[in-house]
Chain A
Amino acid sequence: MGYVAVKGGLEAIENSEKLLDFFRLKGGSSPVQVRQIQEQFRLAVDKVVGEGSLYAPYHAALALKQSEGDTIEASFILRAFSSTISRTHYSLPVKTTQMRIIRRISAAFKDIPGGQYLGPSRDYTQRLLNFELDSENKSHIKRFLHESELEYKKLSNEDIGMFPKVVDLLRKEGLVIDSKKQEFEEPFDITREAVAYPLARSGRLQAMARGETGGMLMIAYTSMRGYGDIHPTLGELRVGYVPVYINKNGEEIYAGEVLVTEAEVIARFISKDKTDKPRFTIGYGFCFGHNELKAISMAILDRTMQAEKPKVPAEDQEFVLSHIDGIESSGFCAHWKLPHYITFQSDLDRIRATRKKRGGDE
């Protein structure tokens, strides 16, 4: 009876699972170590911890191995995993001024207190395929590490210092709007509460921090290209480790540190009325891992969604937030592969009836 899966569904699933392993391993190369993925596929891991919304780089690397490098699938596995862990604490708000920085730039000022810090970046590399990587071996790595050890010692040095935030300089001058009020509200938790629009800013930021990089980039790009341009300047982009504390019986306890990316865009200024002095608006982006495109896109969208009357897609909260979650969109897209025999049978019935109405054959 061919494709019609009347019986044997279980067997088919089990065989299909086996085939996955077969296709992963049939080439016979040596197994990829999870540690290798965690260290050398750093940016893929960072994408997965962000989109999977669980800061667990080891698990993310394992998920990447399991999913043969598919970051959306790996994020999904990580999220499902996180739902099995009980939530024992909520962390206290992290202070990114305490960030142990690996990279920090500002596009707004040539010189900033603390200085620009290019850090690891592909921005100024020429995108030429590097064939030398093909013959990279352990002794190369050893030699490279030995040579660079002195040079990069600074990176692991604790007293590289903490930097003031660029936006705070403008804030002191009263040039940017004060959004302090919202900061004291208990944050909305979209994983626990039912989302309704308009959604509080904390909920919007949470949804975006969990969002899928490609999806957010795409919608943010519509704004950048002109569908609701916010005239952004990248005030600051910083990547680094921030300490996380939890509150236990009134005591602040250090829980560890997480690698994050933070972006702040300074955007079009506004004023409350004709007499009020104008102030710049701010868009804020923050995500787990080193993921600059996501943090910048998030900052842009945070600002576009502050529009009072949405005119373009990027300004429409419901439009943006209901379409950026990679787990939801990929799940729904994949569901079209499920059998739809019944609904299609129903459609066949309708097209035949309609054709009959127009005369002649069905």
Chain B
Amino acid sequence: MNDMNDVLKRKNRKYNFGFIDENSKREIRRKILKAVAIPGYQVPFGSRELPIARGWGTGGLQITLSLIGPDDILKVIDQGCDFSVNAVNLKRFIQKTTGVEITEDTLKATIIQTRHRIPEEKMGENQILVFQVPYPEVLRTVEPSEAVTREMHAEMNYSKLWVYLYEEIVKWGEITIGARYPVKVNGRYIMDPSPIPRWDVPKLHMAETLYLFGAGREKRIYAIPPYTRVEPLEFDDFKFNVESFDGKACSLCGSTDTFLDEIFNSETGQKTYICSDTSYCSKVSARKKVSHE
């Protein structure tokens, strides 16, 4: 037992590239392939233990780690921001175990891992966007049992979710779902797009980029392959709509076509708005500065 302790106690133990062992990575990649083959279908997988807490992006992280190679260029965002504490923490971990290049530039990255946002700049065919997912099951709102929801998906029995939307309209005159707006993928599965704002939902439709979704705690992987139909659930006479920022602009870069964070200035108490996608915001600001000069 003492020998064992010595082995385990060794400092500076070398971790495998990407932390997860190669066999596990391979299994996760197989599950990703299955997910790509059945757009919107939640593929169960044997979620691995990581030194990052469950609920903090372990699903996305496992996808990123099993896909990433030494030549990849990685960007990690949380709430659209490269420097938010959780994004920094994940980046630190991935870089420690892979040594890959990190970027803040959406267009330069080959893999972007995100929580709650799709970048404002349009991503291309050679990129992958990995979403962190807290609730993979879109039907959980109307049905708590996993065994039942899997059957509902199999039978395309989505009436309960539709009635939920109907009742929302009857009660509130509006569908009150903010983020995590349910979408139908490829005309078959209804899917939870992760807690992205409705603002980002249209970007899922016929995109050039491969979108991968990972839920570590709930042990599910799903995907939207490039050029796939993705439609938010809506009624003929109650159309899906995105968040309204009418008459508002980013106080830093002046953009009027981005998703804005509402902020209370700590000194004046005044409400202002800034872009949630911070790297895009800096790009626009820089561009304006140049054109000014």
Give chain A's interface residues, CB within 8 Å of chain B. Answer: 1-10, 12-13, 56, 58-59, 76-77, 79-86, 190-198, 256, 318, 322, 327-328, 330-335, 338-351, 353-354, 357-358
Contact = CB atoms under 8 A, between A and B. Distances in A.
B198 A346 contact: yes
Query: B5, B15, B54, B197 — which one has the most chain A CB atoms within 10 A of its CB?
Result: B54
Nearest to B145: A318
B8 A345 contact: no
Interface stretch (B184-192, B226-234, B255-263, B284-292): B255-263
A357 B46 contact: no
B157 interface: no
B247 interface: no
Contact of B85 (A5, A195, A347): A5
A7 B274 CA distance: 14
A345 B262 contact: yes
A13 B89 contact: yes
Contact of A343 (B48, B146, B195, B266): B195
Interface stretch (B67-75, B105-113, B172-180, B203-211): B172-180
B46 A343 contact: no
Contacts of B64: none
B108 to A, nearest CB: 19
Interface residues of B, number: 66
Interface in B56-80: 56, 58, 78-80
B49 A80 contact: yes
Interface of B: 1, 5, 8, 13, 15, 19-21, 44-46, 48-51, 53-56, 58, 78-81, 83-89, 92, 115-117, 134, 145-147, 150, 172-174, 176-180, 195-199, 217, 219, 243-244, 259-263, 265-266, 276, 278
Contact of A350 (B1, B89, B146, B176): B176
B121 to A, nearest CB: 17
A6 B134 contact: no
B280 to A, nearest CB: 13
Chain B interface, >50% SS class: loop
Contact of B179 (A5, A80, A327, A343): A343
A332 B134 contact: yes
A221 B146 CA distance: 24
Contact of A357 (B79, B172, B196): B172
B176 A85 contact: no
Contacts of A256: 1
A243 B117 CA distance: 52
Given A86-B21, A342-B116, A80 B51 contact: yes
A335 B53 contact: yes
Contact of B5 (A10, A58, A80, A86): A58
B8 A56 contact: yes
Given A332-B55, A342-B276, A346-B198, A10 B15 contact: no
Contacts of A333: 55
A194 B46 contact: yes
B48 A12 contact: no
Contacts of B172: 354, 357
Nearest to B31: A194
Contacts of B51: 77, 80-81, 83
A334 B55 contact: yes
B56 A13 contact: no
Contacts of B180: 343
A194 B44 contact: yes
Given A197-B147, A334-B55, A343 B178 contact: yes
Given A9-B85, A353-B244, A341 B276 contact: yes
B174 A353 contact: yes
A353 B176 CA distance: 9
Contact of A9 (B53, B56, B83): B83
A357 B173 contact: yes
26 contacts: A5-B85, A10-B83, A59-B8, A83-B48, A190-B46, A191-B46, A194-B46, A196-B150, A197-B147, A318-B146, A330-B53, A331-B53, A332-B54, A335-B134, A339-B79, A339-B86, A340-B116, A341-B276, A342-B195, A342-B196, A343-B179, A345-B178, A346-B179, A347-B178, A348-B262, A350-B174
A9 B260 CA distance: 20
B83 A13 contact: no
A349 to B, nearest CB: 4
A345 B84 contact: no
Contacts of A341: 79, 261, 276
Given A85-B8, A353-B244, A357-B173, A1 B263 contact: yes
